[in-house]
Structure 1
Amino acid sequence: MTNVGYGNRTPFLTASASARLRAEIDQLLDQQVVEWYANVPAAAHLEGADVDSEYYKRNLIETAWRIRMLRVAEAKALVEIAKRSPEAAQVWANYEQEEMLHDELFISDLEKVGVSREQFLATEPYLSTKLLAGYFSYLLDHEGPLGVVAYSYLVEYVNVKLEPKKLEALRVSVGEANIDGQISHSHTDINDDHPGEVWAAIRHLLTSADDVVALKRYLREHQSILAQYFQELYLDTIAEKQPA
Structure 2
Amino acid sequence: MNFHDRLLAETADARATLVTLPVIQDALAGRIARETYVDFLTQAYHHVRHTVPLLMACGARLPARLEWLRTAIGEYIEEEMGHQEWVLDDIAACGADRAAAAASEPSLATELMVAYAYDTIARGNPVGFFGMVLVLEGTSVALATRAATSIETALGLPRSAFSYLLSHGDLDIEHAGFFEGLMNRLDDPDDQAAVIYAARRFYRLYGDVFRNLQVPAPALPQAEAA
Report the TM-score when normalising by structure 1. Answer: 0.79
1:179 alignment partner, one of 162, 184, 203: 162
Tell me how far apart the structure 2 counterparts of residues 66 and 27 of structure 1 sit (CA, whole Å): 26
2:224 aligns to what?
Answer: none
Question: Aligned pair 1:230/2:213, yes or no?
Answer: no
- Tell me the CA shift for residue 91 of structure 1: 1.2
1:133 aligns to what?
Answer: 114
Superposition map of 1:1-244 within 5 A = 20-38=2-20, 40-81=21-62, 83-174=64-155, 175-177=157-159, 178-190=161-173, 193-204=174-185, 206-233=186-213, 237-238=214-215, 240-241=217-218
Give secondary structure in 2 for the equivalent of 1:43: helix
1:11 aligns to what?
Answer: none
Give secondary structure in 2 for the equivalent of 1:238: coil
- Tell me the CA shift for residue 57 of structure 1: 0.2
Tell me how far apart the structure 1 counterparts of residues 24 and 30 of structure 2 sit (CA, whole Å): 14
Give secondary structure in 2 for the equivalent of 1:55: helix
Structure 1: tracts of 5 or more residues without a match: 1-16
- Tell me the CA shift for residue 241 of structure 1: 4.8
Structure 2: tracts of 5 or more residues without a match: 221-226
Distance 1:242 1:25, change over 3 A: farther
- Tell me the CA shift for residue 180 of structure 1: 3.2
Tell me how far apart the structure 2 counterparts of residues 157 and 41 of structure 1 sit (CA, whole Å): 19
Tell me how far apart the structure 2 counterparts of residues 242 and 225 of structure 1 sit (CA, whole Å): 30
Give secondary structure in 1 for the equivalent of 2:23: coil
- Tell me the CA shift for residue 41 of structure 1: 4.2
**Runs of 4+ deviating beyond 4 Å:** 239-243
- Tell me the CA shift for residue 222 of structure 1: 0.6
Report the TM-score when normalising by structure 2. Answer: 0.85
- Tell me the CA shift for residue 207 of structure 1: 4.3
Give secondary structure in 1 for the equivalent of 2:30: coil
Distance 1:173 1:83, change over 3 A: farther
